[in-house]
Amino acid sequence: MGDKKPSGTGAGVSNPDRNNAIFTTDELKHAFYDMVLIRRFEERAGQLYGMGLIGGFCHLYIGQEAVVVGVQMELRQGDKLITSYRDHGQMLAAGMDPRGVMAELTGREGGYSRGKGGSMHMFSREKNFYGGHGIVGAQVALGIGLAFANKYRGTDEVSIAYFGEGASNQGQVYESFNLAALHKLPCVFVIENNHYGMGTSVERASASKELWRNGEPWGIPGRKVDGMDVEAVRQAAREAVEYCREGKGPFLLEMATYRYRGHSMSDPAKYRPRSEVDEMRKNHDPIDRVRRELLTLGVEEAELKALEDKVKAIVADAADFAQSSPEPDPSELWTDVLVEG
């Protein structure tokens, strides 16, 4: 408890030049909307979990919204995403239907995996979202497989492989770095460093303190980014994605971010002081940061409230659908097991 205090800013962290804006006002409003949607969706999911309507594991993305929203704004049709079990934010940022995501959380037929995957295992070929994976670090190897497919097909599409700092020292991650560099695969590795791998501070778990440099033995360039600043995230993502599209190989981004809730809904997070969480919420919240900037740019408070009201209605509808959609028919136990030849 009370390990070295995490920080979303500081030396070595990339921040955008405010005199060279990375967002137009409309784009910043779009980022605000997307982050609020993720935040309110996750809060409602937490409530449904507390009511016993969501079973199994449930890992919330509250606090980390700027990471996925900033990266997503630099992607285009055909780019592919893969992540860990803290995946609801990636799904929503990719454009997946909140109804289908929430219904999967409650195990209903209307969910993306027809109620059989739950929080950690849902996919959308339409949105090029390849999961949601429960094995720590396993998605990174799959992510370079997606990048290999892009290169094999001769496209300039990229693969984004998200993983946490807790997975950053997994052997399969380093094997993936080696293969991606060897074959110059168009993969952006994104470390979402929220400073705690389950209940252990990264300061006590990793000998490497500069995770953005972990790819250097294979010649993979990296950047450390203020992951609580959506503009800094987008700027770094632009550099990384362009590097990959040009055929130069993989790129590594370490996003210094923070989760406000425990590792999962069953984690009371007693390994860190409440004052630490409060300080991050008060001084580094990614949504509040964008709200302040929009107000400074002359956007009316009423317009922001209208966006928030729209999000509130969407999340309420998703929650209602997730409770009214029927449970899967027992025959679904035999589907999606084998592919017919």
Query: Would residue 214 count as lying in a domain?
Result: yes
Query: Would residue 17 count as lying in a domain?
Result: no
Q: How confident is the model at residue 6 (pLDDT cuts 50, 70, 90)?
A: very low
**Per-residue pLDDT at 1:** 36
Please determine, for residue 87, whether its predicted confidence score (pLDDT) is greater than 60: yes
Query: Would residue 338 count as lying in a domain?
Result: no
| Closest to 141 (Cα-Cα) out of 178, 176, 181, 180 | 176
Total structural domains in the chain?
1
Query: Would residue 8 count as lying in a domain?
Result: no
pLDDT tens track for 38-67: 999 999 999 999 999 999 999 999 999 999
Q: How confident is the model at residue 340 (pLDDT cuts 50, 70, 90)?
A: confident
Query: Would residue 291 count as lying in a domain?
Result: yes
pLDDT tens track for 209-224: 999 999 999 999 999 9
Structural domain boundaries enclosing 184:
25-321
pTM: 0.92
Q: How confident is the model at residue 20 (pLDDT cuts 50, 70, 90)?
A: low
pLDDT tens track for 232-269: 999 999 999 999 999 999 999 999 999 999 899 988 88
Give me the mean pLDDT over the 21-33 stretch: 94
Residue with tokens 């997070």: 269
Query: Would residue 337 count as lying in a domain?
Result: no
Please determine, for residue 10, whether its predicted confidence score (pLDDT) is greater than 50: no
Please determine, for residue 321, whether its predicted confidence score (pLDDT) is greater than 70: yes
pLDDT > 70 fraction of the chain, expressed in percent and rounded: 94
* Dihedral angle over CA of 211, 217, 218, 220, nearest 10: 40
pLDDT > 90 fraction of the chain, expressed in percent and rounded: 88
**Per-residue pLDDT at 86:** 95
**CATH number of the CATH domain containing 131:** 3.40.50.970
Residue 252's beta-bridge partner residues?
189, 222
Residue 160's beta-bridge partner residues?
81, 188
Query: Would residue 293 count as lying in a domain?
Result: yes
Query: Would residue 19 count as lying in a domain?
Result: no
| Closest to 120 (Cα-Cα) out of 166, 84, 90 | 84
| H or E segment to which residue 204 belongs | helix 202-205
| Closest to 35 (Cα-Cα) out of 298, 300, 211, 294 | 294
